[in-house]
Structure 1
Amino acid sequence: MTNEVKRRLICHWSLVIGHFEIWKKRMNSAKWWCLVLFLVFSSSSGSAQIASRPADEWIPLLESPDRVANLKVPQVVAALRLERGYSVADIGAGSGLFSRALARTIDPGLLYAVDIDPELLKHIDGTCKAERIPNIRTVPAAPEDPKIPDKVDLIFLCDTLHHIAGPDKYLTKLPAYLKPGGRVAVIDFRENWPPGHEAMKFTAEQLQSWMAAAGFKKVEDLSIPKNAFFHIYAPK
């Protein structure tokens, strides 16, 4: 088993463990154990299946009212001080929670919703059509490169960086995707990391070191959301 497969196994099970208590409270005993057995056997079929998270399983969790409230989406978007006509890349867009809010703020500017999971990108396309958000373009990324199709004013990563193998190397790719005067915003856990995330954990100091090595300087250090760090960087 390669290190990358091991890391993805840890990532998969950390997400499952982190939400077990929520599911358990909502199910009777029989349904609970059926779910446990399903997850165990569905995860044993190989690394390719583990590497991709089922969109229909995770979207309700990514869009849960508690998570949305904790992330303080309106406050985060306001803190970015975006202008209409800006272009933004949301790396690790997931269900499109931030993509939708960012796109509405910069309309008619383009929002690139970047993710490695085609099913999540398909979900974003469907949601944008249903909600009549015309300025989102979904982008299938590679694990080691976001593959943003054009230079942007802002690159946004929320709860994404700790899922990336070799985040220090990944960050060195970002300057090539920024317009002059562009910025990078990173939100991730400062404390209270979900159970099982120990292998993916990093500190704000480590992030600062990685960003400096990638050619960035920190220009803002914000205190939202709670228990997270929210750093904004610009090229040196």
Structure 2
Amino acid sequence: MVRVSVTVSLAVTSLWLATAAAQAPQDAHDMHRLHDDPKAYIQALEDPARDAYQKPHEVMTALGVTTGEVIADIGSGSGYFTLRLAHHVGDTGHVYGVDVSPEMVRYLNERIRDAGLPNITTILARPDDPLLPRSVDRFLIVDVWHHIEDQAGYLAKIKARLKAGGQVVMIDFHKRDLPVGPPAAMKIAREDVVAQMETHGFRLVREHTFLPYQYFLVFGI
């Protein structure tokens, strides 16, 4: 199961960078508790300061999303990547914004309405199941995997909903002390993610190294 919290969502730990950009450095555990305030959490996720390390344009370029793809954004949060994905998949594609937080889903629904993007569907998921209604071409999981407790069970559900030739993209913080992200003890090391994925039948097909604090791994089956 995913650790129960108000928000287990896209880039759950990115709020530390946004907070640090506006204030003096705080203890990581104190900043982590800010995600219990949905308004502050959303503001942190969408703070322009996040772009400095998350490099969304470069990530989207590296993903090479094509028109017509169906993509699941696991832990979609405020829609930081969800809306970007929607513009790339076009009218013939679709993006599922998956989150366990009602507040995040409600906020993302408002953004979808205001942006006029009919190719996004939000899903209020269970902590242990993304509840996808159909198979997808790609899963995008950014700064979320370290929050999932039953990772083996979650991977089984992902695999069952991944189309032949599909991909699972994992972006998460390196397991060391960094100016952003959770405490090192909460992180999952890159090599452990690779070993775990290989154990469950996935193979590393590509790796990008341009992100300063995160690994960026692309897996296929």
Q: Give the TM-score range, shorter chain.
A: 0.7 to 0.9
Partner amino acid, structure 1, of 2:90:
D
Quote the Cα distance in structure 2 between the aligned partners of 1:199 and 1:81: 33
Partner amino acid, structure 1, of 2:210:
I
Tell me if 1:224 matches 2:210. Answer: yes
- Aligned-residue identity in percent: 31
Quote the Cα distance in structure 2 between the aligned partners of 1:17 and 1:178: 30
Partner amino acid, structure 2, of 1:57:
A
User: Residue 199 of structure 2 aligns with which residue?
Assistant: 213
User: Residue 155 of structure 2 aligns with which residue?
Assistant: 171
User: Residue 190 of structure 2 aligns with which residue?
Assistant: 204
Quote the Cα distance in structure 2 between the aligned partners of 1:63 and 1:17: 9
**Alpha carbons of structure 1 residues 122 and 195: separation in structure 2 relative to 1, 3 Å:** closer
Quote the Cα distance in structure 2 between the aligned partners of 1:161 and 1:65: 23
User: Residue 98 of structure 1 aligns with which residue?
Assistant: 81
Unaligned ranges ≥5, structure 1 = 26-35, 44-49
Q: 1:144 aligns with which of 116, 122, 128?
A: 128
Instruction: Out of 169-178 and 106-115, give the one that drifted further.
Output: 169-178
The offset of 1:17, in angstroms, is 9.7
Tell me if 1:73 matches 2:56. Answer: yes
**Alpha carbons of structure 1 residues 181 and 54: separation in structure 2 relative to 1, 3 Å:** same
Quote the Cα distance in structure 1 between the aligned partners of 2:60 and 2:177: 23
Partner amino acid, structure 2, of 1:170:
Y
Quote the Cα distance in structure 1 between the aligned partners of 2:143 and 2:181: 15
Contact 1:84 1:105 in 2 (8 A): yes
User: Residue 33 of structure 1 aligns with which residue?
Assistant: none
1:190-236 CA-to-partner distances (Å, cap 9, x unmatched) read 2444475234211111101110122100000111322211000001x
Q: Which secondary structure state, in structure 2, belongs to the residue aligned with residue 74 of structure 1?
A: helix
Larger radius of gyration: 1
- Structure 1: which 4+ aligned runs deviate by more than 6 Å? none
Unaligned ranges ≥5, structure 2 = 25-29
Q: Which secondary structure state, in structure 2, belongs to the residue aligned with residue 157 of structure 1?
A: strand
Q: Which has the higher contact order (CA 8 A, sep 6+)?
A: 2
Contact 1:53 1:117 in 2 (8 A): no
Tell me if 1:125 matches 2:109. Answer: yes
**Alpha carbons of structure 1 residues 18 and 117: separation in structure 2 relative to 1, 3 Å:** same
Q: 1:107 aligns with which of 83, 86, 90?
A: 90
